[in-house]
Amino acid sequence: MFRPAEITNTVTRAAKDAGFELVGVAPVENSPELEYFPQWIAEGRAGEMKYLEARDEQGRLKRASLAYAAPWARSVVVCAINYNTAQPYSTEIQTQSEENRERGWISRYAWSQQDYHDLAMQRLRRVEAAVRNAAASDDVVTRCYVDTGPIVERVVAKYAGIGWIGKNTCIINQKMGSWMFLGVILTSLELAPGLPAPDRCGSCTRCIDACPTDALIAPHQLDSNKCIAYLTIEKRGAIAEEIRSGMGRHIFGCDICQDVCPWNRKAPATNAEEFQALPELVNPALEWLADMDEEEFRRTFKSSPVRRGKRAGLRRNAVIAMGNSGDQKFLSQLEKLVGDSDEDVSESAGWAIRKLRDPN
């Protein structure tokens, strides 16, 4: 006899055994948060991320409802794993000291040697196996995703009780903070759901106030076109000049809105070996990145999320960071890069030279 509560308990134990710190079950139903998604897309807030506009056969945005993305699903198992490491935050290290001016910032989640998608998926598959074994039925359907499916993970994470959605649009847990990778398992089983976590942001607006490009246009509303993470990872081609100064020395992703969050002050560091930071990726040298050839890029980032930004994007970002560094030592290197075969690197180098010679 099918017993949802017993299967839910089995899945919870399996998630803990697989190394996930948090696990919960969300029901499959339309959430108020997703009602805004079509408008967000229509307003162009997704930038060039066309995959967010995936539609079903009826032309409906899949991410606007789980019923559109997976009409067979009845429950969502949500697992969360801590990736925080015992390293300084960008807000602590991105100062204008002589040494730090020569260095850029790679987002915290991309410091490890392997891609988090693969690392979290390996663990998630073990939980999926537990779901299927506990159901003891060949008719059970499951699908696993780690930031790879037509699902807004933070929304189902909220309704699974993993945490609340902060004003910076990240999922926040009262004890773990927001440094979490999420994995979801859609299943045709109707499991016992959890309860949504209460919103504990209160009147705090530190994330909104700290964003240097004003990408957080309102609480819980992000304009990707202004987001440093989007600009340094997803954006191809030239970046608008008016927004470059706000990018600071970020070269892949941005952690500012999480770094300033009070709930991350005492966020625990992970003991998982696979999430530990490679020293060369924490505050890396801009000179090294700007001159990196294709072979070195592949060797350095062969299993890293940084591959997503492409070598061209990484070099473009490093050149912009040089312009924002205020460090005149970069001028000679930038003058060479003006003649680079990559038009975006060349153009950005010209901008960086002008910025260093006339900061105002």
The full set of domains in the chain, from first to last, is: 4-86+113-187 (no CATH), 206-267+276-357 (1.25.10.10)
* Rounded mean pLDDT, 342-353: 98
Q: What is the pLDDT of residue 93?
A: 73
**Position 116 pLDDT exceeds 70:** yes
Per-residue pLDDT band for 5 (boundaries 50, 70, 90) equals confident
Q: What is the pLDDT of residue 40?
A: 96
Per-residue pLDDT of 31-69, as tens digits, reads 899 999 999 999 999 999 999 999 999 999 999 999 999
Between CA 49 and CA 262, with CA 33 as vertex, the angle to 5 degrees is: 90
* DSSP string of 172-183, one letter each residue: EBTTTBT-EEEE
Per-residue pLDDT of 185-226, as tens digits, reads 999 999 999 999 899 999 999 999 999 999 999 999 999 999
**Position 80 pLDDT exceeds 80:** yes
Distance from C-alpha of 53 to C-alpha of 9, rounded to nearest angstrom? 35
Q: What rounded mean pLDDT belongs to the chain?
A: 94
**Position 29 pLDDT exceeds 90:** no
- Give yes or no: 138 in active site: no
Structure tokens at 5: 């509560």
How many DSSP H helices and E strands does the chain contain? 15, 10
Cα 130 to chain centroid, rounded: 27
Residue 73's contacts (CB-CB under 8 Å, 6 or more residues apart) are 28, 66, 141, 143, 186, 187, 188
The fraction of the chain above a pLDDT of 90, given in percent, is: 86
* Rounded mean pLDDT, 286-315: 95
Per-residue pLDDT of 227-236, as tens digits, reads 999 999 999 9
Q: Is 311 helix (H, G, I), strand (E, B) or coil?
A: helix
* Rounded mean pLDDT, 67-95: 91
Per-residue pLDDT band for 98 (boundaries 50, 70, 90) equals low
Structure tokens at 144: 């696993």
Per-residue pLDDT band for 3 (boundaries 50, 70, 90) equals confident
Catalytic residue among 138, 139, 147, 327: 147
Tell me how far CA of residue 258 lies from CA of 109, 168, 255, 283, in angstroms: 12, 8, 5, 17
Q: What is the pLDDT of residue 99?
A: 67
Pairing of strands 250-252, 221-222: unpaired
Q: What is the pLDDT of residue 324?
A: 96
Distance from C-alpha of 35 to C-alpha of 16, rounded to nearest angstrom? 33
Q: Return the number of other C-beta atoms located less than 10 Å from residue 222's C-beta.
A: 22
Per-residue pLDDT of 122-168, as tens digits, reads 999 999 999 999 888 888 999 999 999 999 999 999 999 999 999 99
**Position 264 pLDDT exceeds 60:** yes
Structure tokens at 156: 């189902």
- Residue 145: strand pairing partners: 184
Give the residue, 178 or 7, on which the prediction is more confident.
Answer: 178
